[in-house]
Structure 1
Amino acid sequence: MYRWFLISALAAVAACGPIAPERAAQICEERAQRADGPFGNITLGTNSKSGAFASGEIGISTDYLRGTDPMTVYERCVVDLTGTGPIRPPSL
C-alpha cells in the first residue's frame, strides 16, 4: 500500500511541473535506495488496551528486479522531476 501511495504521490508531483531540485534529490535518493535491494520495516509495540503488537513490511522495487543501477535510477528520476540534471550526488 505504501508503494502505491509513493507512486501516486510522485505522479501527482510530476503533473504539477518541475519541483525544487533539493526536494527532487530527496525523493530520488529514496527511489535509488530501493533499487539497490529489498527494503522493509518492522514495528513492535505495546499499549494498555490490546497489549503487544507487531507488524512488518518487505518490498522489492521493479528497478531492483530489472537490475537497474541505483545511480541511473537517481539521475533519471531527478531529470523527470526537475527537467535538469542532479545538483548533487545521492547519499546511498
Structure 2
Amino acid sequence: MHRWSLVALAISVAACTPPTPEQAAQRCEERARAAQAPEVGVTIGASSDGGPFASGNISLSGDLLRGRDPLEVYETCVIQMTGQPPIRPPRLRAL
C-alpha cells in the first residue's frame, strides 16, 4: 500500500507543477482561437449497414460570447498560468 501512496503523491505533484512558458502559450492560443469565431465541425460519411450519414456541431466559447479580444484572452491566460507575460505573440488563424 505504501508504494501506491508514493505513486499517487508523484502524480498529484506532477499535476500541480506549472506549465512551461511554451506549454502555456499553446494552451492559451487554443483559448484565444475559440474567442475569435465559432468552431464548426461537420462529419459526412457512409456505412455498409446504415447508409449515408451526416452530423455537425457548433462550439461557442464564453470569451467569444462576451466579445473579448482574442489577444487579451491570450495574454491574460498566459499570465494566469505562469505568472509571467507571454514569451511570444499568439499564432491565431486569419479571419
Q: TM-score, normalised by structure 1?
A: 0.74
Alignment of 1:49-64 (within 5 A): 49-64=49-64
What letter matches 1:53 in structure 2? F
Q: Structure 1: which 5+ residue stretches go unaligned?
A: 1-14
Higher Rg: 2
What do you get for the CA RMSD once the two structures are aligned?
1.5
Alpha-carbon distance in 1 for matches of 2:22, 2:84: 12
Q: Structure 2: which 5+ residue stretches go unaligned?
A: 1-14
What letter matches 1:47 in structure 2? S
Q: Percent identity?
A: 56
Alpha-carbon distance in 2 for matches of 1:24, 1:51: 43
Q: TM-score, normalised by structure 2?
A: 0.72
What is the DSSP-based 3-state SS (H/G/I as helix, E as strand, rest coil) of the residue aligned with 1:89? coil
Counterpart of 2:70 in structure 1 is: 70
Does residue 37 in structure 1 map to residue 21 in structure 2?
no
Alpha-carbon distance in 2 for matches of 1:16, 1:53: 43
Post-superposition Cα deviations, 1:23-65, rounded to whole Å, max 9, x if no partner, equal 2111111110111122211111223232222221102111112
